[in-house]
Amino acid sequence: MLRTQRIETMSEKVTKSEDEWRAELSPDQFRVLRQKGTERAFTGAYWNNHDEAMYVCAGCGAKLFASDTKYDSGSGWPSFTAPTSGVEVMCSRCGGHLGHVFDDGPGPGGKRFCINSASLRAEPKKETPQK
């Protein structure tokens, strides 16, 4: 069952013209985020990434998913069991299309957030200083 949900992240909305988005995003990012495209399975930068990171919206930087909720769904897209907050696979801050959520995921919620790598940017977690 395909569902669309909104990930509520930051209250400040980001509004830009299509020309501004096109100038700031790569062609793949623009196609996915602004035109609701989907990248081919097993081709995105993050489908097989296992680094600890916070996955943020490639359009506006809103925090979306933590790496500890990422898992290998076998689908060829980065998959997560839960967003950092809220519930849609469109960024509520900039309106960018992120991917889709399905009811066949692991974990207590049973959700699989299937996200296009082109809609994400992984920001490595900062290590906390040892005391």
With respect to residue 55, please indicate whether it lies within any of the assigned structural domains.
Answer: yes
Q: pLDDT tens digits, residue range 9-43?
A: 445 888 999 999 999 999 999 999 999 888 999 99
- Residues with active-site annotation: 114
- Inter-CA distances, 3 with 61, 88, 89, 105, Å: 23, 9, 9, 13
Any idea what the Cα angle at residue 102 is, between residues 98 and 104, rounded to 5°?
140
> Would 113 be classed as within a structural domain?
yes
More confident residue, 8 or 57: 57
Domain count, the chain: 1
* Domain extent for 57: 2-124
Residue 129, in any domain of the structure: no
CATH number at residue 71: 2.170.150.20
Q: Taking the model in full, what pTM does it have?
A: 0.68
Is residue 25 classed as helix, strand or coil in its secondary structure?
Answer: coil
54 occurs within a structural domain: yes
Cα distance between residue 34 and residue 21, in whole Å: 8
Residue 77 CA to residue 21 CA, distance in Å, equals: 23
